[in-house]
Structure 1
Amino acid sequence: MKRTLLAASLALLTGSAFAGTTLDLGYKAHTSSTKDDNGGAYDQPFVKITHFNKADWGTLLAYLKLENPGEIADAQHGKDGKLTVKNLMIIDKQIGDSAYNWWLQNFLVSNRTVMEDNLYLGLTTNRKFDKLFINAGAGLNYSAAHFDPTGASFDGISGGAVVINAIYPMQAFNLKHRLSVNYEGQFARDDEHKSTLGYDSYGHQIITTLKTSLTDTVYTKLHLTHFDSWGSSPNDGIEYGVAIGFNF
């Protein structure tokens, strides 16, 4: 049987072992008010490769995402767009036979203008409510950042982080779907971290994604993301996009 991300979510729900890799080809855009409030936000294509692995010890999720590959999209006001590289790794190491995990998460974003790396260390828990799967946790945040136009940099402990990840598989119109909501928040950020990137003490991203399996190997994704003092939208904003994906 070919492996799909829907199968991955069911593996989380049932506890069975699973490993799979996917490739997304997509395009993301922003509302006009988001662009007005955030000079670094602009519409662009992206390529994303993701690997998920669930085993007896816990789970591993990792992805590499290239935004504006080939720098084919222009930024705002006709400025040259930049290639942005994003890399995420999440490890949940199960603690014994419990529903709790040691949690390690690292996210790195880098382009010619800005670099930010956030490392979380803490605890998460896995819960099931019928078909709904929830993973939630909290931990410390270690950040490193640099903003080239000002030369400002930061490297050190910067408050804490909270995550809530919800997955709900369903079926409609003779197709299999997966609705996911991913919340990630940072709080009590260090003053130097805030001044380096123009952040407030608290910031978050909330990503809502609907994945629809067209075949065993092909799927589509629709996503809607709200940012608040986060990434390229330090002044609040909304991103939306579409992608076609392949399992292999």
Structure 2
Amino acid sequence: MKLKLLAAAAALVATPALSATSLDIGYKAYTSDTKDDNRGAYDQPFLKLSHFNKADWGTLFAYVKLENPGEVKDAQHGADGKLTVKSLAIVDKQIGKSSYNWWMQNFLASNRTVMEDNFYLGFTTNRTYGQLFINAGLGVNYSAASFTPTNASFDGLTGGAAVINARYPLQFFGLKHSLSVNYEGQFGRDDEHQDVLGYDSYGHQIITTLKTSLGDGVYTKLHLTQFDSWGATPNDGIEYGLAVGFRF
């Protein structure tokens, strides 16, 4: 079902009105408290290839991200670091002429130890307040997960999901900037889903990003992410990082 819906959504972008592709080269790190509380958290480089399309029917955003490419960084306590592949696809299909959308989102993270896939289906709405743009949504969550050390796995409906994405343009020091805050939360997770990944019933990530345009398709990004029962930080934590990006 997931593959069919995403394939159908992708087919809608045959004639986009706006299209942009970018490559980020960056490095992310965790606070010492986060590392103490989460064995899977360790500092590492990343590469991220993103694509955005906006057309009359709505929008598509997708990326593929390689964390610790080449496995150049060791994990905690001298353990081998692993390449983690992450992919995201978000489709907002506008409903008629309204400010509401059908919302489909799929996120996959996988390495040799753990795999997690979350598929959301629901509704979003787009709002503007002056220069502030907000996209917010609510839907159901279908997840698949596995954890190699315990041979545990899960596949099924697991509560709901909510997102709030806000973006605001800024200009200072003679440069153009964009400040964004992205909240993603899951609630009412299935007990088996929680057991496989060590999660609580509720979890979220809040990503704050400052993007600065340097001209000619070059930009920088500073990000700060707070996790709660999410990804590599089931026991909460803070990630921060820097990237240089190229738009083409």
TM-score (norm 2): 0.93
Shift in Å, 1:18 = 1.2
2:224 partner amino acid: L
2:25 partner amino acid: L
* Structure 2 residue 121 is the aligned partner of structure 1 residue 121: yes
Shift in Å, 1:217 = 1.1
* Structure 2 residue 131 is the aligned partner of structure 1 residue 131: yes
Counterpart residue number, 1:207: 207
**Equivalent residue runs for 1:177-196 within 5 Å:** 177-196=177-196
**Equivalent residue runs for 1:19-58 within 5 Å:** 19-58=19-58
CA–CA distance in structure 2, aligned partners of residues 96 and 119 of structure 1: 24
CA–CA distance in structure 2, aligned partners of residues 216 and 209 of structure 1: 20
RMSD: 0.8
What percent identity do the matched residue pairs reach?
A: 76
2:210 partner amino acid: L
CA–CA distance in structure 1, aligned partners of residues 100 and 40 of structure 2: 38
Counterpart residue number, 1:244: 244
**Equivalent residue runs for 1:157-196 within 5 Å:** 157-196=157-196
1:105 partner amino acid: Q
* Structure 2 residue 101 is the aligned partner of structure 1 residue 101: yes
Shift in Å, 1:17 = 3.3
1:160-210 Cα distance to aligned partner (Å, 9 max, x none): 000000000111111000000000000000000000000000000000000
2:231 partner amino acid: G
CA–CA distance in structure 2, aligned partners of residues 48 and 65 of structure 1: 4
Aligned residues: 233
- Secondary structure in 1 aligned to 2:206? strand
- Secondary structure in 1 aligned to 2:235? coil
CA–CA distance in structure 1, aligned partners of residues 199 and 182 of structure 2: 21
1:70 partner amino acid: G
Shift in Å, 1:41 = 0.1
2:74 partner amino acid: D
1:3-43 Cα distance to aligned partner (Å, 9 max, x none): xxxxxxxxxxxxx9311000000000000000000000000
Q: Does 1 or 2 have the higher relative contact order (CA < 8 Å, sep 6+)?
A: 1
1:115-138 Cα distance to aligned partner (Å, 9 max, x none): 000000000000000000000000
**Equivalent residue runs for 1:11-90 within 5 Å:** 17-90=17-90
* Runs of 5+ consecutive residues of structure 2 not aligned to the other structure: 1-15
CA–CA distance in structure 2, aligned partners of residues 234 and 108 of structure 1: 17
1:31-85 Cα distance to aligned partner (Å, 9 max, x none): 0000000000000000000000000000000000000000000000011100000
- Secondary structure in 2 aligned to 1:33? helix
CA–CA distance in structure 1, aligned partners of residues 216 and 135 of structure 2: 26
CA–CA distance in structure 2, aligned partners of residues 139 and 247 of structure 1: 32
TM-score (norm 1): 0.93
CA–CA distance in structure 1, aligned partners of residues 184 and 216 of structure 2: 30
